[in-house]
Amino acid sequence: MPAVQLNSDVALGVAIPSRNARGRIARLGSVVDTVLASHNYPPVIEQLLAEALTLTALLGSLLKESQGQLTLQAQTEGGAIDLMVCDYLRGELRGYIRHDADLVAELPDHPTLEQLFGKGYLAITFDQPVAAERYQGIVPLEGRNLGEAAQSYFAQSEQIPSLVRLAAEKRDDHWHAGGLLLQHLPEGEEGRERLHTRLDHPDWPHVAILGGSVKAEELTDPTLPLDDLIWRLFHEEDEVRTLESIELKRGCRCDPAYVRSVIARFPEDERAEMVGDDGLIRVDCAFCSSSFSIEPKEVSS
Ligand SMILES: [Zn+2]
């Protein structure tokens, strides 16, 4: 029996050494259900957040440091959504989407990114505190879905040929989401400056065709273990390896002490304005909808 089950709420590393390709595959089930249970989102927004959390899991599991954090943030103008934030820390995922309910109600069942976000940008931030490395790339939210936007991120910001597939579906009241990320990293690329990148390397189109043949129903099927799915896609390769797996959980970091420390950083006159009729400062966590009531004297300097 493997230590970690590879069916749901898990990310798995993948390598195809003979093609210089590496990547991650992830599937989410109860993590998505738990995140969405804190909100009361319309179906279109639930679908988008399920896909965004899957992308966050794929990108977060690329972090080399166990303490590293990955943040996905969409900044937008003139769309139905004005803010989307997801993050990843130690396998813990959380996220929320701020949107205009009236505009969302007018959207088609499968809206484009432009219909959702208007003129939007996706910022992807890799934060690795031990190496004191912080890297942020920004791409326009264009294309049919978040997977395509993420692909352009890697092509534009990092010059790495990449394939990103995301899928999410609600069946019998439960969400099933899955994603595949593959990248072409020619010899010696890992941890080294790239002198040039060959976007026309013959190995890559081959891997992209095999990876791109993955079906949405395979990505979201919790009865199909991720290692079996990788084998199904790449079994004709000389060698395909699965690497470490990371268990995924829903997690929020909004404990009362943290909320107090944030409030304490505001100047005294601004804190006074936050006090409600009941004499308390009320703070709601946008990620998990927890509500905190804080005594003003607890945070006074
Ligand atoms: Zn929270």
- State the pTM of this model: 0.91
CA of 255 to the centre of ligand 1 (A): 7
CA of 274 to the centre of ligand 1 (A): 19
* In the predicted structure, residue 53 carries a pLDDT above the cut 70: yes
Give pLDDT, residue 198. 53
C-alpha span between 273 and 268 (Å, rounded): 9
Of the pLDDT bands very low, low, confident and very high (cuts 50, 70, 90), residue 199 is low
* In the predicted structure, residue 193 carries a pLDDT above the cut 50: no
Give pLDDT, residue 258. 87
* In the predicted structure, residue 222 carries a pLDDT above the cut 90: yes
Q: How far is CA 147 from CA 19, 62, 76, 164, 220, in A?
A: 22, 16, 18, 5, 15
Give pLDDT, residue 197. 54
Q: How far is CA 164 from CA 59, 221, 273, 277, in A?
A: 10, 18, 46, 50
Give pLDDT, residue 300. 74
Of the pLDDT bands very low, low, confident and very high (cuts 50, 70, 90), residue 297 is confident
Q: How far is CA 269 from CA 15, 79, 266, in A?
A: 56, 35, 8
Give pLDDT, residue 59. 96
Q: What is the DSSP letter of 145?
A: S
CA of 253 to the centre of ligand 1 (A): 6
CA of 219 to the centre of ligand 1 (A): 28
Give pLDDT, residue 186. 72
Mean pLDDT of 2-16: 88
CA of 227 to the centre of ligand 1 (A): 33
Strand partners, 99: 81
Please name the residue ranges forming H helices in 244-297: 256-264, 268-274
Of the pLDDT bands very low, low, confident and very high (cuts 50, 70, 90), residue 296 is confident
* In the predicted structure, residue 195 carries a pLDDT above the cut 80: no
pLDDT digits (tens, 9 = 90+) for 123-178: 999 999 899 999 999 999 988 899 999 998 888 877 889 999 999 999 999 999 99
* In the predicted structure, residue 245 carries a pLDDT above the cut 90: yes
CA of 288 to the centre of ligand 1 (A): 4
CA of 275 to the centre of ligand 1 (A): 21
